[in-house]
Amino acid sequence: MPDATRLLALLPGDPDIVHPVAAFGLAILLYGAALGLARIIAPRLRRRLPPLGDGMAGHVRAIIRHGIAALLLAIALPFFPRDSLGHLVLGITLGGAVALLSTHILHGLAMPRWAVVPLALILFILIVSGSGGGIAPVSDMLDQVGFNLGKRRLTLLGLLSIAATCVALFAAVRLANRVIGRSIHKADGFDPTQKLLAQKLAAIAVIVAAFFIGVDLLSIDLTAFAVFSGALGLAIGFGLQKTFGNLIAGIILLMDRSIKPGDVIVVGESFGWVNKIGVRAVSVITRDGKEHLIPNENLMTQEVENWSYSDRNVRVRIPIGIAFDSDLKLAQQLMLQAAQESPRVLRNPKPNVWLTGFGESRVEHDILVWISDPEGGVGNVKSDVLGRVWQLFRDHDIAIPYPQRVIHQPPRPPLT
């Protein structure tokens, strides 16, 4: 009997009854200690660690609680003989703590339930089987259940290993992307475009690294797929050339910073502000609240109007006409007054009024105003200025003409 288990020999009564009861009481005591420590550590840890999103924030205390409990139970497990019921009770409690720990971590990373439950169950079975007599009998039993596929044999143990590895790598990729993304977002010295580019490149690097780690963990021989992968890669290259083209175009757009999140652009019939630049498309939100997804490659090959590329100030042209017999100077002053009183019109550059021509029934003018928030739209600025002009013209008897036609009818010849 190891030295650590000599204390159990001092307990009176039948060991087959006393040891499980003592193990159960110890498990409750350790979980209570873990609960108390989690209440103290969790608030401090939240302030020191980088934020991982609202989903993970709600699981921090549970993760700390079950993590501390699993650590304490693992330390207490050798105090009981390996083949005793007390050892099995602590093993079951340890398996439950590890399973709950993995469940909260995966739920915090927004993993689907179908992936969380099997992984937690596998961890629980492995730990309990290790406490009750070793993992080897369980693994041998799972390895015997399978079928042959050509020269290879697929077993239940192999499928469970593949599934667990894929879920674990998927969770690791999400966690790494979230940590790296938050760290880059808080980094100083980078503008929003450079931060977005760094996040995209880091996400690609994490996925590539996870792929090669998964290949190594699952012992997949890539040389066996050399010929097949060449043909498959050629087919995928032709089928996904647009996808890769959009990916490269998105990276180029972020590198040359010709289009950035927040820019106001016009592409064809789409006018709005850039919400985000994704892997495949750029999200443009219009003034109607509609979100247009424009492929990145289109922004590289088509003509694009960027209203805020180098300067966010945009000039708006508002045409208006007055009657020929109106007071020209007074009308121009009223137009300028209406433009200056509009809340979104800038004072510098100041608004201006130009006489542009003489029409068939009116004197034509352009009111030129500047705005600094083009994402707010230009139609509402025109509407506000024209509404003020209308009211001022009515107050000062300035007429806005409408087209008129005069028909001259020759006199009829006298009746004979």
Per-residue pLDDT of the chain (416 residues; tens, 9 = 90+): 444 455 454 444 455 566 677 778 888 888 888 888 888 887 776 665 555 555 566 677 888 888 888 888 888 877 777 767 777 788 888 888 888 888 888 777 777 777 777 777 777 777 777 665 544 455 555 556 666 666 666 666 667 777 777 777 887 888 788 778 777 777 776 667 667 777 777 888 888 888 888 877 777 666 655 655 666 566 656 666 777 777 778 778 777 777 888 888 888 878 888 888 877 788 888 877 888 888 888 888 888 888 777 777 888 999 999 988 888 999 999 999 999 999 999 988 899 999 999 888 889 999 999 998 887 778 889 999 999 999 999 998 888 887 766 676 777 776 65
User: Are 221-310 and 314-395 in the same CATH fold?
Assistant: no
**What tokens were used for 99?**
């399973």
Query: Could you say which DSSP state residue 11 is in?
Result: S
H or E segment and range at residue 144: helix 136-144
17 sits in the region (left: phi over 0; alpha: psi -120 to 50; else beta) called: alpha
Residue 2 has a pLDDT of 46
Whole-number Å distance between alpha carbons of 415 and 305? 69
H or E segment and range at residue 153: strand 152-155
Residue 45 has a pLDDT of 67
CB 259 within 8 A of CB 265: yes
CATH class of 314-395: alpha beta
CA 261 to each of CA 191, 271, 329, 331, 372: distance values in angstroms, whole numbers, following the listed order = 11, 14, 44, 41, 16
H or E segment and range at residue 388: helix 379-395
Whole-number Å distance between alpha carbons of 198 and 190? 10
Domain boundaries, the chain: 3-134, 221-310, 314-395
Residue 1 has a pLDDT of 41
Residue 150 has a pLDDT of 61
**What tokens were used for 181?**
């993304």
Q: End-to-end CA distance of the chain: give it in Å, rounded.
A: 146
Place of tokens 């304490």: 72
CATH class of 221-310: mainly beta
Other C-beta atoms lying within 10 Å of the C-beta of residue 298: 16
In three-state secondary structure terms, 190 is: coil
- The pTM (predicted TM-score) of the whole model is 0.48
